[in-house]
Structure 1
């Protein structure tokens, strides 16, 4: 009887170890999702602005979505993501390009999940020219 219990216990232990090994293999293939909607809106606040253009962008496990250049946009978002926001997208305006001083606000947003965490970021520019200069014609909002 003791021999039979030892054999059953040993086989149960092997099953558990095999199951744990399989679970470890599965967790190695998991990734933190990064899927967002990027939008450009007319207005001073994302809540009341009228969306002019919007695209979807998924960056993990591969770059895809309706964005015309998903690989470049994902690379730019990854490089500029700082402290839970995308403030790194905002660069110092180039001094060689002048913009009119009229107020016609444009708001850009990033909403969704980034590296597994919920994200919602927005920034309002005085006009479309200022947006283009500040974003340095980057890939993320070139759609």
Structure 2
């Protein structure tokens, strides 16, 4: 029995198998072994850094309420609090927000969170202000709604974001 037969079969299978890089062996020259050179893969193009996703947030402030809740002499009730809405764009700062650069800086400082901690002391006057923010900050959705006791509390907790 020939003991070299299993090794010869193994070598033949190894030589006949495609290379790990996926390239097929080259043509077999007459009377020679196949050409085992591999064809280089397509050149790798470097990834170009992309700009951060844009920021666009619609901001609404409702309030504060009218200074008095008493009826007027003609029996009409006080006017409802007015709502103001602006759009804030960042990267570059813009939109119709009057302090867009400062508002974008505040959002960037809190990684897109509208509210932040504050040590500012405000009076306990209750004059409610409702705010909401809907949109996208650097490609991440933003959805925020809250009622603050007064404008001082609003400004202390949200900085320039709702300063319009």
Q: Report how many residues are paired.
A: 115
Query: Which protein is bigger by CA-based radius of gyration?
Result: 2
More helix per residue: 1
**CA, structure 1 residues 73+21, in 2 after alignment: closer, same or farther (shift >3 Å)?**
same
For residue 115 of structure 1, what is the aligned residue in structure 2? 138
RMSD, aligned CA? 3.3
Question: C-alpha separation between the residues in 1 aligned to 2:157 and 2:113?
Answer: 15
- In structure 1, what is the Cα distance between the partners aligned to 2:152 and 2:51? 41
**1:113: how far off?**
0.8
C-alpha change, 1:58 and 1:10, in structure 2 (3 Å) is farther
Residue segments in structure 2 that go unaligned for 5+ positions in a row:
1-25, 28-37, 65-79
**1:36-47 equivalence runs, <5 A:** 36-42=57-63
Partner of 1:64: 94
**2:103, 2:52 → 1: CA distance?**
19
Q: Which has the higher contact order (CA 8 A, sep 6+)?
A: 1
Give the TM-score, by structure 2 length: 0.55
Where structure 1 has 5 or more consecutive residues not aligned to the other structure, the ranges are: 4-8, 44-48
> After TM superposition, where is structure 1 displaced by more than 6 Å over at least 4 residues in a row?
none
1:13-24 paired onto structure 2 within 5 Å:
13-14=41-42, 17=43, 21=45, 24=47
Aligned pair in 2 of structure 1 residues 130, 139: CA closer, same or farther (>3 Å)?
closer
Query: What are the Cα deviations for residues 27-72 of structure 1, in whole angstroms up to 9, with x where unaligned?
Result: x1242222111211248xxxxx976111111212x11211112111
State the SS of the aligned residue for 1:87: coil
